[in-house]
Amino acid sequence: MTQTSDTVTWLTQEAYDQLKTELEYLSGPARIEIARKIEAAREEGDLKENAGYHAAKEEQGKQEARVRQLTQLLESAQVGQAPADTGVVAPGMVVTIAFDGDEDDTMTFLLASREFATSDIETYSPKSPLGSGVNGKKVGQDAQYELPNGSVATVRVLEAKPYQA
């Protein structure tokens, strides 16, 4: 099955394994646990006014949505190596940019799928306006991207290094 680069998510083996483990947990033990919560709440009686039942059903809905999201992501995932340290921006790299060439006004972020957003570093998708603007640029090059108000911003790539977890 051939897929375009828009539908493929590139993952390191470590990231793939982590997401697969999460999916296995949500599809197995977590499903059993939420079913028990729903059954226990059901036994309390009137479902219309049973907050525990409604909370458990909402949790189940969120969990099943995450299972679908992970299943779709893993089905379209291409497992590969982390990007090489070539100074060219690519998914899986930590990128530092300067706004309008002003090296005092900088931002550093991870260019990666939102699946890998962490509290350690801000994450931008390669499909986001900023992500697609800097993707493929070399250190020292300028990149442009469209802002939500329709105007165009220019940034300079100051650094691009492979992400180290």
Tens of pLDDT along 24-52? 999 999 999 999 999 988 888 777 788 88
Tens of pLDDT along 47-102? 778 888 889 999 999 999 999 988 988 887 777 666 677 889 988 889 999 988 67
> What token pair was written down for 105?
């006004």
Asked whether the beta carbons of 74 and 24 are under 8 A apart, the reply is: no
Residue 116 sits in the same domain as residue 151: yes
Place of tokens 């680069």: 5
Bridge-partner residues for 118, per DSSP?
none
Residue 113 sits in the same domain as residue 61: no
Residue 74 sits in the same domain as residue 13: yes
Q: What angle do CA 88, 145, 129 make, to 5 degrees?
A: 85
Domain presence at residue 119: yes
Asked whether the beta carbons of 158 and 139 are under 8 A apart, the reply is: yes
Q: Please identify, among 59, 80, 101, the residue that sits at the C-terminal boundary of a domain.
A: 80
- Residue 153's domain spans which residues? 93-162
Residue 20 sits in the same domain as residue 69: yes
